[in-house]
Amino acid sequence: MNILITGVTSGIGRALTREYIENGHRVIGIARRGEILRKLKEEYQDSFDYICWDISKTSELDALIDRVGTKAERIDILINNAGMGTYGTFYERGAAEELRMIDINISSLTYLTKKYLKKMIEKNSGGVINVASTAAFQGGGPLMASYYGSKSYVLSLDEGIRGELERMPENEVKVMTLCPGPTSTDFVGMGGSNSKKFYISTPQMVAKECYKGYEDGKEIVIPGIVNKLSVFFSSCLPRRVQRKIVYNIQKKKRP
């Protein structure tokens, strides 16, 4: 199968690329860092192709889709993995970086999901995996307010789409939401000693659970028992208490 993955040059995206190729699939990777993309091509040869592109430029997404069409006539699975986070008090942060994050985490994800999902529904095969976060289940994210809001959007979007798909007779198209917790990547606040704590997942662990979860037909995948328990217990707490807990966690990441 042809797997289209955004944000493949590091972290979870790079691990997903390896996972799908090792399971016999062909990956088309999208990212901005051309040097790393070329190294991935050298490593995986015919199993990997790439497009060097900045998906934050939402006005150019149709051109990107056209480019993908030259690499593969059909995309069987779209994985919207690319994402970014910002840190700091909401009203003090500059608007430009926050809006760029929204373009990547929300606007581009929504547009690519819409365009490829329509093609998949026409052929009644294929699927979309959107990467959200355990942050999507929290009652807000002080010090990372826009990021938490963007991930809540992704989960809610996917739930709405699934509600539409399940009402279509004999539908074979799937939409899965991957919700990793803290993962040892170069994501904001995850560097240094934080990456060695017991509750931190590796990108490889997340990729393996993503692959298995999609194959098993799951709607939402939360990698790691600690993250599953965290989501469960936080749902039992008042939202005000959730916000206090999140604030105390995030303030420790202050640069």
Structure-derived torsion over alpha carbons of residues 168, 171, 173, 179, reported in degrees to the nearest 10: 70
Count of CB atoms situated within 10 Å of the CB of 104: 21
Number of H helices, E strands in the chain: 9, 7
**Residue pair 133/112 in contact by the 8 Å Cβ criterion:** no
Q: In what order do the strands lie in the sheet with 48-52?
A: 48-52, 26-31, 2-6, 77-80, 127-131, 174-178, 220-221
Helix (H) or strand (E) holding 50: strand 48-52
| Residue 220: strand pairing partners | 177
111 catalytic residue (yes or no): no
Q: Looking at 20, 111, 116, 147, which residue is catalytic?
A: 147
What distance in Å separates the CA atoms of residue 70 and residue 60, rounded to the nearest whole number? 16
SS3 label, residue 28? strand
Q: Which active-site residues does the annotation give?
A: 147
